[in-house]
Amino acid sequence: MTFTTITHDLSPRGVATITLNRPERGNALNQAAIDDIGEYFAQRAVDKETRVIVLRGAGKHFCAGADLGGRGGEEIPPRFTLATMIEAVDICPKPVIAVVQGAAIGGVTAVLASFPGWYARAIAINYHGQTKTGFVEDAAVLAGAAAIVRR
């Protein structure tokens, strides 16, 4: 499968690295990024050569939240919602390490919260811009968090 919003690599020692690769948009999540992340984690979950997954962001920020400027106009139906992408990360049986630099805003904080032993919590900014945009992402974030809590 070809990914358009991430780069990835698998080292000979089984370290899979996924990099959010939209630095010009602060690695903000659009539908293609949500689909790419969900699909990548689903693939790595069953890959016998993958021993650990490292998630990072290219550029200054780990993830600037939802890409409100890039919403709409998608011709291909989405494969993942934010909640199902978070669930794909959460149920992945491989250890996941996040390398967080700069900001980690909005729904991506729910992705990070699904990692057992995530130590970068103090770095993440949980800014909710819904008050200015009218966009409510909390429903998806709460659905993902509920799936995590049920486990």
- pLDDT digit string, tens, across residues 10-51: 999 999 999 999 999 999 999 999 999 999 999 999 999 999
C-alpha torsion angle, residues 61, 144, 34, 31 (rounded to 10): -110
Q: How confident is the model at residue 116 (pLDDT cuts 50, 70, 90)?
A: low
Q: Is the separation of the CB atoms in 35 and 80 below 8 Å? A: yes
Q: Which residue stretches of 56-99 are H helix?
A: 82-91
Q: What H or E segment, with its residue span, contains residue 56?
A: strand 52-57
Model confidence, pTM: 0.78
Residue 53 CB partners (closer than 8 Å, separation 6+): 15, 16, 17, 18, 41, 44, 92, 94, 95, 96, 97
* Domains recognised in the chain with CATH numbers: 6-150 (3.90.226.10)
